[in-house]
Amino acid sequence: MLHASLSLSPAFVVSPVHRRTFGSFVEHLGRCVYTGIHDPEHPTADEDGFRKDVVQAVQELGVTTVRYPGGNFVSGYRWEDGIGPVDRRPARLDLAWHSTEPNTVGVDEFVRWCRKAGVEPMMAVNLGTRGVQEALDLLEYCNVDGGTHWSDLRRQHGSPEPHGITMWCLGNEMDGPWQIGHKTAEEYGRLAAETARAMRMVQPDLELVACGSSSSAMPTFGEWERIVLTEAYEHVDHVSAHAYYFEEDGDLASFLASAMNMDAFIDDVAATADAVRAARKLTKRIHISFDEWNVWYQHAAPSEPPKDSWPVAPALLEDHYNVADAVVVGNLLISLLRHSDRVHAASLAQLVNVIAPIMTEPGGRLWRQTTFHPFALTARHAVGEVLAVELASPTHETAKFGETPLLDAVATHDAETGDVAVFVVNRSLSDDATLEVDLRAFGDLRVAEALTLANPDAYARATVDDDASLAPVPNTSATVDGAAARVVLPPVSWTMLRLVQA
């Protein structure tokens, strides 16, 4: 058996837990919107056509913010198509996903759905085919009380109160040649700065996100961030980061260590932003919005329909996740939390049906993928402050990352209650690991809950007929003895250990 130890103290704080870390993403892609969150023929559909069972699952998942409407989709989106009487809205070709967009769900419907689900809307503007004026028009429609063309239209359309959206993405993945309206870093940085400056003339307190690199593997990574922030630093609050991970060529060991790439990505973006800050002699710090992240097997499920058709809401990117995928998702959340000093928001991409923790049948059942569980439990129990931890772990060699710790962990502490939560993964393919957690700095604690997600078959998947048998189960090995907690972690596993005052 492997042995590891974890040291932590309430005196060593990384940052408060940012609730926006537990955001997600709804794009007009595949069945995320239509037959996902919106399915008027479903038995649970409400008066707006939204599935109540999906709303309940989103609340169970613990999602705090939802980024909308894209994604690649936003770079060709005319937001005005999705307002007003539904029967008069035009259908449009969506070039990003080779589909037809009926515009049945638009800005007002999405905001109403957010209110039902209890989540904060995070809006993206089209800086691919459009620009400053269209972003200003959308902001006016959403946030101005009344007395202007667009705000009065919103009121006429049944939303008398402003939507009050405060967080806005200035485009999406504009570094990507696949993006409609792809731009160089200089072109995009100038446009982002101009758009941000104008939007702040309408509402100074907005939080604005500039597009960073769509992957750390992009040939422009690093230099893109430097140039964009040199243009826009004073006018934005965050720079985005996007990353997707999947098992390649049967290399499970490297896949389980994917968080090492995320750690390096975050550190590099923060260092680049700080270099611009130093060069510009500025005091404000730019933070990171990691507003697309997940496991995504990019060639396993269709990414677009046949070229001879333009269907509405085709089944696209409907990855079917296994236990190992869930362990990686849990580990990526560990990475995001431990970087809470710089990562102030994040969005699991996406929420329903499209590389998603929640799956639906059109007009039928809802089920939870394996990845649902580590997200839901972390969102629920990561409370208070993120602690800096020292983990002593055995290592093994991986093809992609070299020598890699077999365990990875983060902890949070609620100063009001004294409760401590530890989130930990065992990346070993074959061995149990005993973890000892030093609790001397916290007083008298007891185990309130210990849950582990694991299975002898790391490739086991939940299904629509059985989404419960792969959910986390109580880990009865968890004990507190004196000033230390101990728990045995099975191979390829994610565990939450919750400790409360005795």
The model's pLDDT over 327-362, given as tens digits with 9 standing for 90+, comes to: 999 999 999 999 999 999 999 999 999 999 999 999
Over 90: is that where the pLDDT of 430 sits? yes
Over 90: is that where the pLDDT of 27 sits? yes
Structure tokens at 354: 């499209």
- The confidence band for 134, taking pLDDT boundaries of 50, 70 and 90, is very high
- Residue 300's CATH number: 3.20.20.80
The model's pLDDT over 261-290, given as tens digits with 9 standing for 90+, comes to: 999 999 999 999 999 999 999 999 999 999
Structure tokens at 179: 């993006």
Over 90: is that where the pLDDT of 164 sits? yes
Number of domains in the chain: 2
Q: What share of the chain is helix, strand, coil (3-state, %, to 5)?
A: 30, 25, 45
Closest CA to 109 of 73, 91, 83, 138: 83
Residue 25, phi then psi, degrees to nearest 5: -150, 125
Q: Give the pLDDT score at 390.
A: 97
The model's pLDDT over 207-256, given as tens digits with 9 standing for 90+, comes to: 999 999 999 999 999 999 999 999 999 999 999 999 999 999 999 999 99
- Are 28 and 154 found together in one domain? yes
Structure tokens at 459: 């490739």
Closest CA to 174 of 123, 213, 229: 213
- Residues belonging to the active site: 173, 292
- Are 275 and 251 found together in one domain? yes
Give per-residue burial for 324-336: e unless 16+ CB within 10 Å, then b. bbbbbbbbbbbbb
Q: Which of 329, 352, 381 is the last residue of a domain?
A: 381
Over 90: is that where the pLDDT of 92 sits? yes
Q: What is the mean pLDDT of residues 419-439?
A: 98
Residue 452 neighbours by CB under 8 Å, 6+ apart: 472, 473, 474, 475, 489, 490, 493, 494, 495
The pLDDT mean for the chain works out to 97
CA 446 – CA 216 distance, rounded (Å)? 42
Q: Give the pLDDT score at 405.
A: 98
- Are 196 and 98 found together in one domain? yes
Helix axes 52-61, 107-117, angle to 10 degrees: 60
- Are 250 and 374 found together in one domain? yes
Closest CA to 110 of 82, 130, 77: 82
- Are 82 and 146 found together in one domain? yes
What is the per-residue DSSP string for 102-140?
--SS-HHHHHHHHHHHT-EEEEEE--SS--HHHHHHHHH
Q: Which of 353, 381, 409 is the last residue of a domain?
A: 381
- Are 353 and 472 found together in one domain? no
Contact yes or no for 99/310 (Cβ under 8 A): yes
- Are 374 and 391 found together in one domain? no
- Are 257 and 370 found together in one domain? yes
- Are 414 and 358 found together in one domain? no
Contact yes or no for 100/93 (Cβ under 8 A): yes
Range of the domain at 470: 2-9+386-501
The model's pLDDT over 460-480, given as tens digits with 9 standing for 90+, comes to: 999 999 999 999 999 999 999
- The confidence band for 304, taking pLDDT boundaries of 50, 70 and 90, is confident
- Are 227 and 265 found together in one domain? yes
**Where is 6: in which H helix or E strand?**
strand 2-7
Q: Which amino acid is at 219?
A: P
CA 489 – CA 433 distance, rounded (Å)? 5
- Are 61 and 119 found together in one domain? yes
- The confidence band for 301, taking pLDDT boundaries of 50, 70 and 90, is confident
Is there a cis peptide before residue 350, judged by omega within 30 degrees of 0? yes
Q: Give the pLDDT score at 305.
A: 87
Over 90: is that where the pLDDT of 160 sits? yes
Q: How far apart are the first and last CA of the chain?
A: 30
CA 211 – CA 165 distance, rounded (Å)? 19
- The confidence band for 298, taking pLDDT boundaries of 50, 70 and 90, is confident
Instruction: Quote the pTM value.
Output: 0.97
Of all residues in the chain, the percent with pLDDT exceeding 90 is: 97
Closest CA to 113 of 69, 144, 172, 167: 69
- Residue 479's CATH number: 2.60.40.1180
Q: Which of 381, 416, 449 is the last residue of a domain?
A: 381
CA 237 – CA 151 distance, rounded (Å)? 26
- In 177-307, at which residue ranges do the beta strands (DSSP E only) sit? 207-210, 238-245, 287-295
What is the per-residue DSSP string for 270-290?
HHHHHHHHHHTT--PPPEEEE
Over 90: is that where the pLDDT of 302 sits? no
The model's pLDDT over 29-73, given as tens digits with 9 standing for 90+, comes to: 999 999 999 999 999 999 999 999 999 999 999 999 999 999 999
- The confidence band for 109, taking pLDDT boundaries of 50, 70 and 90, is very high
- Are 217 and 309 found together in one domain? yes
Q: Give the pLDDT score at 300.
A: 80
Question: Can you give the length of the chain in residues?
Answer: 502
